[in-house]
């Protein structure tokens, strides 16, 4: 049986599938040619990430498909319910990239707290001529230890991010409409474990109390963070969105930065992806990455092997 990994798959995933008797094709087929390719090659399993969409037209036109897999968490690019109604298995890997996203968020947080995103741009240009000026400009950083991190959305990724925060000496508060409390177990290199019980509180209280805020929520119709939410935050707050484009109102974010309400923000996802708005790209208070939250070698290995395991379990 043939598996098309249209947006790629790790070597470990390929090896696991081939060991299970599957032929793995890693050719990237253009969206408009995908239906014909799947039917001509008798593809049984289609694996995607975020670049390929699997909508009703493709599902209807490819009766030989048995499994649609998403390497990652969100499945916004797949018509999941329709596929399942048609008898297809739809799988994803919700746990594989959680820690990768958490580390990216904290990479941004540390960078913003110490102006690394700007200093790394300015030093090559002015380091030899304006060293003293740059030192003065970037000498008012803050420490994360002792600060409060607010987590909006306390599922797997939110919890993984909270663990990194606890390890950094931060206080963690969280909002999640579906959870009352969560037990977090931190594992250390020498086998020690420490448990923390985090009781969720209201969204408003999280916004009011947090020095840093990170979003880990699914895509939704309304903004999770809009002008009203910015208004009740602390002055000088730092925010990260590595969840989905469209959960933060980017226009309101820029205004909040201009007012001094937001000291800095990290964006890994954008409302207009893959062409983020120029006012975001040029704003010195923003630390930006091109949707790379899950893009670590370790996460891709876990994603590939987990997809392979699910496919082999379903199809034998």
The string of DSSP codes covering 188-218 is: -TTS-EEEEEEE---HHHHHHH-SEEEE---
* Nearest partner of 96 among 314, 295, 315, judged by Cα: 295
Q: What is d(CA 125, CA 135) in angstroms, rounded to the nearest whole number?
A: 14
Contact residues for 65 (Cβ-Cβ < 8 A; gap 6+): 38, 43, 44, 45, 46, 59, 88
The string of DSSP codes covering 274-287 is: TS--HHHHT-TTEE
Of 18, 185, 227, 273, the active-site residue reads: 273
In which region does residue 87 sit, left (phi positive, over 0), alpha (psi from -120 to 50) or beta (all else)? left
- How far from 188 is each of 164, 168, 193, 194, 298, CA to CA, in Å? 12, 13, 6, 8, 18
118 within 8 A of 139, measured Cβ to Cβ = no
- Is 70 in the active site? no
Q: What is d(CA 283, CA 263) in angstroms, rounded to the nearest whole number?
A: 12
* Nearest partner of 94 among 291, 314, 313, 294, judged by Cα: 294
- Is 108 in the active site? no
- How far from 78 is each of 59, 89, 121, 237, CA to CA, in Å? 10, 12, 38, 35
Of 49, 99, 291, 302, the active-site residue reads: 291
- Is 244 in the active site? yes
Of 244, 250, 302, 306, the active-site residue reads: 244
Q: Give the catalytic positions in this structure.
A: 244, 273, 291
């Amino acid at each position: 049986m043939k598996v098309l990994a249209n947006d790629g798959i790790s070597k470990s995933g390929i090896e696991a599938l081939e060991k299970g008797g599957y032929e793995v094709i890693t050719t990237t087929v253009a969206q408009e040619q995908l239906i014909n390719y799947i039917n001509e090659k008798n593809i049984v399993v289609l694996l995607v990430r975020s670049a390929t969409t699997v909508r009703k037209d493709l599902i209807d036109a490819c009766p030989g498909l048995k499994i649609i897999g998403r390497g990652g968490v969100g499945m916004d690019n797949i018509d999941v319910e329709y596929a399942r109604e048609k008898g297809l298995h739809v799988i994803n890997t919700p746990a594989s990239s959680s820690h990768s996203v958490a580390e990216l968020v904290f990479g941004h947080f540390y960078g913003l707290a110490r102006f690394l995103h700007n200093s790394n741009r300015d030093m090559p240009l002015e380091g030899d001529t304006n060293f003293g000026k740059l030192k003065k400009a970037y000498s008012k950083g803050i420490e994360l230890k002792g600060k409060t991190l607010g987590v909006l959305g306390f599922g797997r990724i939110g919890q993984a991010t909270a663990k990194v925060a606890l390890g950094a000496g931060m206080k963690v508060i969280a909002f999640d409409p579906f959870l009352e409390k969560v037990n977090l177990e931190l594992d250390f290199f020498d086998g020690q474990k420490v448990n923390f019980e985090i009781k969720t509180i209201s969204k408003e209280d999280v916004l009011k109390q947090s020095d840093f805020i990170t979003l880990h929520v699914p895509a939704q119709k309304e903004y999770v963070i809009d002008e009203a939410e910015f208004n009740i935050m602390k002055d000088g707050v730092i925010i990260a969105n590595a969840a989905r484009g469209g959960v933060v109102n980017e226009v309101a974010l820029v205004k909040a930065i201009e007012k001094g309400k937001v000291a800095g923000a990290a964006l890994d996802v954008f409302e207009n992806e893959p062409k983020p708005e120029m006012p975001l790209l040029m704003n010195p208070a923003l630390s930006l990455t091109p949707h790379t939250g899950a893009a670590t070698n370790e996460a891709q290995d876990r994603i590939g092997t987990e997809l392979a395991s699910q496919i082999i379990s379903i199809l034998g």
